[in-house]
Amino acid sequence: MALTRPRRTVSRLRQRQPRGLEKAVRTVKRLSIWIPLAVLAVWTTVPLLITLSVSLKTRGAVFADPQLIPQDPTLNAYREVITRPGFRGAFLNSLFVGVSTALLTLAIAYPAAYGFARFRFRGRHLLLLFTLLPRLIPGLGLMVPIYRIAVAVGAIDNRLSLIVAFTATILPLAVWLLVGFIQQIPRDLEEAASVDGTTFLTRMRYIVLPLSTPALFTIGVLAFREAWNEFGLVLALTRTPGHRTLPYELFLLTTGTGLINNPGQAAFAILTLVPFVFVYLRIERYIVSGLTTGALK
């Protein structure tokens, strides 16, 4: 009996050590996940909170009152932005150009991505690579060529030229995301439908298109955001206020003397951000599904 007790004690100690090690490993894994998420949340939230705080202050209080919560909050900056003569027109222009860019991008990207995903032809991978190359060029490097093309065809100061230019910038990424998503859809569904006598266009419309809804939502939101935030091409392709969008109107908040209206710019940013965030939250699950599936290609 005296010999068995020490053996049992040693075996229990050996069992406790791996359990303690497993708990330590689990703790490290949880920390490795939650710490980056916390840093990302702070990185994303703090600038928005500072912008909101500045928008609720006067021009003098921006530097005199550095606290995050204003002592005397005011909505004067929001009233100033909403009552600006060009704000409503720029908002409608941004909405029209953004929606049109999203629709045109989807109309071109879907058949192109379907062709890359379903057909096997010589040079397919090389052509798909060259499709992405324009996306790697900085936007400023594209301003002069796009401007010269617009001048040559007489498309300066036209909202249609903005729609075409924005579609060209987002189309390579849209095709790549949609190719990866369509490749995850089983071919057996289309083969079974073809056995029943369906045509090629019918399979694209009634089988692949409904299953590609998450990716289409993702591409539509990305295209809309591209048109909503673009400033350089708007500056190059438009001349009159009636055809300009919100980023250019935000630029005009700087007065001719060079005095920057910090509360007005912050209020402008919040007003243009809220509708986009509302739409994103409504379709967030589709966007996440489209991005993750497209990344598996």
CB contact at 8 A, 116 and 178: no
pLDDT the model gives residue 105: 94
Same domain for 121 and 162, yes or no, is: yes
pLDDT the model gives residue 20: 64
Question: Closest Cα to residue 265, out of 102, 109, 81?
Answer: 81
As a three-state string, the secondary structure of the chain is CCCHHHHHHHHHHHHHHHHHHHHHHHHHHHHHHHHHHHHHHHHHHHHHHHHHHHHCCCCCHHHHCCCCCCCCCCCHHHHHHHCCCCHHHHHHHHHHHHHHHHHHHHHHHHHHHHHHHHCCCCCHHHHHHHHHHHHHCCHHHHHHHHHHHHHHHCCCCCHHHHHHHHHHHHHHHHHHHHHHHHHCCCHHHHHHHHHCCCCHHHHHHHHHHHHCHHHHHHHHHHHHHHHHHCCHHHHHHCCCHHHCCHHHHHHCCCCCCCCCCHHHHHHHHHHHHHHHHHHHHHCHHHHHHHHHHHCCC
Same domain for 149 and 200, yes or no, is: yes
pTM: 0.77
Residue 263 lies in a domain: yes
List of the chain residues with pLDDT < 70: 1-20, 254-259, 283-297
Residue 60 lies in a domain: no
CB contact at 8 A, 260 and 254: yes
pLDDT digits (tens, 9 = 90+) for 123-141: 777 887 777 777 777 777 7
Cα 20 versus chain centre, distance: 43
Same domain for 157 and 274, yes or no, is: yes
Same domain for 115 and 159, yes or no, is: yes
Residue 64 lies in a domain: no
Same domain for 30 and 104, yes or no, is: no
Contact partners, residue 245, CB within 8 Å, separation at least 6: 90, 93, 94, 97, 162, 227, 228, 230, 234
**Residue 85's domain is classified under what CATH number?**
1.10.3720.10
**Domain count across the chain:** 2
pLDDT the model gives residue 2: 47
Question: Closest Cα to residue 166, out of 103, 212, 251, 115?
Answer: 103
Q: Which residue type, as a one-letter code, is found at position 291?
A: L
Same domain for 46 and 96, yes or no, is: no
Q: Which residue type, as a one-letter code, is found at position 24?
A: A
Residue 186 lies in a domain: yes
Tokens of 95: 């909405």
Q: Is 199 exposed, middle or buried (0-12, 13-18, 19+ CB in 10 A)?
A: exposed
CB contact at 8 A, 148 and 189: no
Write out the residue range of the structural domain in which residue 45 sits: 4-55
pLDDT the model gives residue 296: 45
Cα 188 versus chain centre, distance: 32
Residue 181 lies in a domain: yes
Same domain for 46 and 81, yes or no, is: no
CB contact at 8 A, 262 and 54: yes
Same domain for 118 and 9, yes or no, is: no
Same domain for 10 and 155, yes or no, is: no
Residue 69 lies in a domain: no
Residue 71 lies in a domain: no
pLDDT the model gives residue 101: 94
Tokens of 129: 């690579």
Residue 63 lies in a domain: no
Same domain for 14 and 112, yes or no, is: no
Report the 10 Å Cβ neighbour count for 99: 15
Same domain for 48 and 81, yes or no, is: no
Same domain for 104 and 235, yes or no, is: yes
